[in-house]
């Protein structure tokens, strides 16, 4: 089983694009459901993921979901057979106050003007690529999305770099060649992880899986093949 964690403002069903091409069944978590009865921290969200997964499952996280995946691996690195991290940030080393203020503005806009929020979110240069298959969270989840900007902000997240050595899980870190910021972050983090390979996919940016689904699928299948005796099953 591959446990898939979506990105900020994303929809869990986006992983359905890969249900017939990846070598294991997919379980895509709806991270917005975590806010139904509480406002969990990143570490608390990680505990929920670990609770829902079986021993030796695969963990896959994109962007915000990648940050949650790193927390999940830190909490129980021996639980997971392997992990794939995509376009994720290990944590800020400075400018936390500025990031908190920025994310508070996003949260307020999400609560008060959802259409404008979605427009401004998609207008960011890092997300400017055309990805027609990508769905965003519906307005029914706007409160949960707003809470995520407060409770899962990079401004509240620890800098995980000093802790990455604890993640002994075999790990593939994927970035897009047209996403230089997150590619540099991955290049910096890969040597800190005991068992990590960083791969840059050509001709795609931050939303690499959906911008280049064929290359993404092949890269993940190649990485996972050694862990399964029948990778095409």
- Residues 6+ away with beta carbon under 8 Å from 194: 165, 167, 168
Residue 23: pLDDT band by 50, 70, 90 thresholds?
confident
What's CA 43's distance to the chain center, in Å?
14
DSSP letter, residue 212: S
Per-residue pLDDT reduced to its tens digit, 109-151: 999 999 999 999 988 888 877 676 789 999 999 999 999 999 9
- 58-79 pLDDT, tens digit per residue, is 999 999 999 999 999 999 999 9
CB atoms within 10 A of CB 115: 8
Nearest of 75, 88, 93, 43 to residue 196 by alpha carbon: 88
Residue 207: CA count within 13 A, CB half-sphere:
22
- Please tell me the total number of residues recorded for the chain in this structure: 233
User: What is the percent of the chain with per-residue pLDDT over 90, rounded to a whole number?
Assistant: 90
216, two tokens = 């993404």
pLDDT score at 126: 84
Q: Edge-to-edge strand order for the sheet containing 2-5?
A: 26-29, 2-5, 58-62, 82-86, 171-176, 196-201
Q: Phi-psi region for residue 62, left (φ > 0), alpha (ψ -120 to 50) or beta?
A: beta
Q: What is the DSSP string of 79-116?
A: G-SEEEEES-----SS-HHHHHHHHHHHHHHHHH-HHH
2-224, CATH topology level = Rossmann fold (3.40.50)
Quote the pLDDT of residue 231.
43
User: Tell me, what's the pLDDT at 233?
Assistant: 41
Hunting for tokens 């995946």 — which residue is that? 69
* Res 53 pLDDT > 60: yes
CB 82 within 8 A of CB 172: yes
For residue 133, which phi and psi values (nearest 5 degrees)? -85, -10
Instruction: Check if the beta carbon of residue 84 is closer than 8 Å to that of residue 174.
Output: yes
Please check whether residue 68 is in contact with residue 42, taking contact to mean a CB–CB distance below 8 angstroms: yes
The rounded distance, in Å, linking the Cα atoms of 99 and 103 is 6
Which residues, in sequence order, are CB contacts of 57 under 8 Å at separation 6+? Answer: 1, 2, 3, 79, 80, 81
């Amino acid at each position: 089983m591959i446990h898939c964690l979506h990105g900020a403002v994303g929809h869990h069903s986006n992983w359905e694009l890969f249900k017939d091409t990846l070598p294991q069944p997919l379980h895509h978590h709806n991270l917005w459901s975590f806010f139904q009865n509480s406002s969990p921290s990143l570490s608390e969200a990680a505990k929920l993921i670990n609770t829902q997964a079986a021993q030796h499952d695969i963990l896959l996280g994109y962007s915000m979901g990648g940050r949650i995946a790193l927390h999940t691996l830190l909490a129980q690195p021996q639980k997971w057979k392997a992990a794939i991290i995509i376009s994720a940030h290990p944590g800020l080393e400075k400018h936390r106050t500025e990031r908190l203020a920025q994310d508070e503005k996003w949260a307020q806009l999400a609560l008060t003007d959802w259409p404008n929020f979605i427009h401004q979110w998609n207008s960011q240069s890092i997300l400017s690529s055309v990805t027609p298959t990508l769905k965003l969270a519906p307005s029914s989840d706007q409160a949960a999305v707003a809470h995520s900007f407060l409770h899962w902000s990079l401004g509240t997240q620890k800098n995980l770099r000093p802790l990455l050595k604890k993640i002994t899980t075999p790990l593939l870190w994927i970035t897009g060649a047209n996403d230089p910021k997150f590619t540099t972050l991955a290049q910096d983090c890969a040597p800190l992880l005991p068992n990590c390979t960083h791969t840059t996919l050509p001709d795609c940016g931050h939303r690499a899986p959906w911008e280049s689904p064929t290359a993404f699928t092949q890269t993940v299948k190649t990485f996972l093949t050694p862990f399964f005796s029948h990778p095409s099953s």
